[in-house]
Amino acid sequence: MVFLQITLKVEAQNRPAAAEVYSRYREPFRQDVPGAQSKQLLVRDEDVQVLHAFDNREHAQGYLTSALFTSDVVVELKPLLAGEPDVRIYDVA
């Protein structure tokens, strides 16, 4: 198992809209993305993180180039961001 962690800098006033994007694409992610196991939204005062679980690293990397991510999620989130996202993939030991 691997985790894909995407940390987003989103101003407080834009967080409801960012959460709506998360909600809209949660089920398509779980149903249509190969190897997808779960997706969670983590909210802190400093930022918002989306934690995705996959069955392997290749599927996590593949999601980052998928149409769902590049053409839908990124397009909708981009106007809400206050900086570049921090994208990391972690292997579970």
Round to whole Å and give the CA distance between 33 and 73.
Answer: 13
The SS3 assignment for 7 reads: strand
Q: How far is CA 21 from CA 38, 72, 76, in A?
A: 16, 9, 7
pLDDT in the model for residue 93: 86
Buried residues in 77-88 as b, exposed as e (16+ CB within 10 A):
beebbeeebeee
Per-domain boundaries in the chain: 2-91
CATH for 2-91 is 3.30.70.100
Q: pLDDT (tens digit, 9 = 90+) per residue, 40-78? A: 999 888 899 999 999 999 999 999 999 999 999 999 999
